[in-house]
Amino acid sequence: METTLLSSIVIVIGLLSSHVSADWEEYAEEIRRLSENNTSAQSALRANFLRSSKAVGMKNFPCSVSVSSGRIPTSVHELRPSDIKVIGALGDSLTAGNGIDASYIWQVLKQYRGLSWSIGGDKHLEEVTTLPNMLKKYNPNLAGYSIGTGSVKKTEISRLNVAVPGSEAINMVTQARMMIDRMKADKKVDFNNDWKMVTLFVGSNDLCDWVKHQDKFKPENYIANIKSALDLLQKEMPRTFVNLMQIADVLELAENQRISCKVLRLYLCPSAIFSKKALVPVMAKYRQLLRELVASGVYDVKDDFTVVLQPMYEETKIPKKKNSDENDRSYFAPDCFHFSGKGHAAAAKALWNNLFEPVGKKTNSFDPSKDIVLECPSGENPYFYTAKNSQPKQLKSAAAAAPAPSDENDGSRHPVEDTKSKETAPSALPVAFAVVGGVLIVLCIVAAVVMVMRRRRTPESEQTWLFSTSTAQA
């Protein structure tokens, strides 16, 4: 035991002195080194990485699948699950599906795209819990979801899952371009008429690499890159609902006592190891700028496009082992960073719930260790919530019809009045009508009197001439 621990410490010291990079290629190279070499220390590490957590299905989907509009909506604010015909995703390794079904450390480099929480479509919901598999309950002909394992270059596998491991916000424009081009070329997709749902989740790598390149990964650059990608989607993609995922807490991922987990985290997230305190305000700023961008309404100017910020990851904490302060690693792949099948299943449920929670009232955390009860569309609330349809219906007319606040509610703005005199005082409108009517009657009487008097003063010959002239003209 002591020999194994000492060997692990030696590895950590060696990494600290020569490798402090979170670059994906260096991480992948270290995975291969741990897998191929057969030193006693690496054998101990590999033993610690043995896994058994696989994809998790949902035996009983609680929502009614008959909630349908019976027509194709023209507004993004009237979308139901059955209206989504195409699904896509942009992001990094957490969307590409790295390590979801891995049993050993070397399998973390494998991209299990068909099991990815937001875009995977392997098998059925009873076996694999993902957002597409839930949507397939309403529309079995859903297009775009990824299947199987493989890189983004394998289009028959990745399809509209264009996420690439190691990606940062700056890569999102390229991914958006790739997804749009693939969508247009897909014979199963009616690009102009099909309703589409796209999930964008990126930022963990930006934060994790911030300690190395603080200017490159400052919050202003992050949000500028996100905006560029969203602007492209808005410009070129009709009938699209975008889920913009809030940043996850990368510091939470760093909380694990196992040395075997910390070894690889030196590559994946050095900021969480070496700059924990300094990273806190940076991460907060990332989140704030995402909120401000969406709240600005810049993506609510078209009736067939919107972006909704889904905050489910913001305050989510990693479950602990029973009677322990150590993270429950069953929710993670063998590298203690990427999610396992259990982790992806919980994330899929949490995203589904965010979709059916009004903007301003969405939950910003979920507990993967508990049974997440699904929100369901209903006759009263059948739509995916947007900034616009989250507002009370007929808000302006209701406000206009509402009585003024009572003195009890706001005495400073509404001074006490003589309520008794208000009840007995005549209405101003009927009084106005009475005055106007009286004036009109008087005018009519005066006009009649004037006509009679003029007639009496007119000579008989003139009356005869007037009568004869009018008769001749007729």
| Of the candidate ranges 91-105, 157-171, 296-310, 415-429, the one whose mean pLDDT is the lowest | 415-429
CA distances from 178 to 152, 169, 352 (A): 10, 15, 26
What is the distance of C-alpha 149 from the center of its chain? 26
Q: Can you give the pLDDT at residue 104? A: 83
- The answer to whether 196 and 239 are in contact (CB under 8 A) is yes
pLDDT of residue 462: 38
Q: Is the pLDDT of residue 138 over 70?
A: yes
Distance CA 212, CA 231 (A): 29
Classify domain 2-390 by CATH architecture.
3-Layer(aba) Sandwich (3.40)
Most confident of 8-12, 39-43, 233-237: 233-237
Q: pLDDT, tens digit, for every residue of 393-407?
A: 644 333 333 343 333
For residue range 266-293, what is the model confidence (pLDDT) as tens digits? Answer: 778 889 888 999 999 999 999 999 999 9
pLDDT reported for residue 22: 44
Q: What was the pLDDT predicted at 105? A: 82
Q: Cα(first)–Cα(last) distance of the chain, in Å?
A: 127
CA 154/CA 164 separation, integer angstroms: 12
The pLDDT of residue 472 is 39
Distance CA 122, CA 260 (A): 31
Q: What is the pLDDT of residues 208-266, one digit of tens each?
A: 999 999 999 999 999 999 999 999 999 999 999 999 999 999 988 766 556 667 667 77
206 is catalytic: yes
Is the Cα torsion angle 281, 116, 366, 273 positive or negative in sign? Answer: negative
From 92, 194, 206, 209, active-site residue = 206
- Which member of 35, 118, 338, 340 is catalytic? 338
Looking at residue 283, its pLDDT comes to 97
Over residues 76-101, mean pLDDT: 97
Residues 6 or more apart from 6 whose CB is under 8 A from it? none
- Tell me: pLDDT of 433 over 90: no
Judged against a pLDDT cut of 50, whether residue 364 lies above it is answered with yes
Out of 239-248, 360-369, 429-438, 455-464, which region has the weakest mean confidence (pLDDT)?
455-464
Higher pLDDT: 230 or 36? It is 230
Whole-angstrom distance, CA of residue 305 vs CA of residue 311 = 20
| Residue-level pLDDT at 265 | 73
pLDDT confidence of residue 328 = 82
Q: Residue 128 pLDDT more than 70?
A: yes
Task: Examine the pLDDT at 11 and tell me if it is beyond 50.
Answer: no
Predicted local distance difference test score (pLDDT) of residue 395: 40
Residue 371 has pLDDT above 90, yes or no: no
Lowest mean pLDDT among 145-149, 238-242, 444-448: 444-448
Average pLDDT score over the chain: 80
Mean pLDDT, to the nearest integer, of 192-220?
97
Q: Among residues 93, 158, 167, 271, which one is catalytic?
A: 93
Q: Which range, 65-69, 238-242, 256-260, 327-331, is most confident?
A: 238-242
- CA 41 distance to own-chain centroid: 43
- Domain-by-domain residue ranges, the chain? 2-390
Q: Which two tokens stand for residue 419?
A: 């309520």
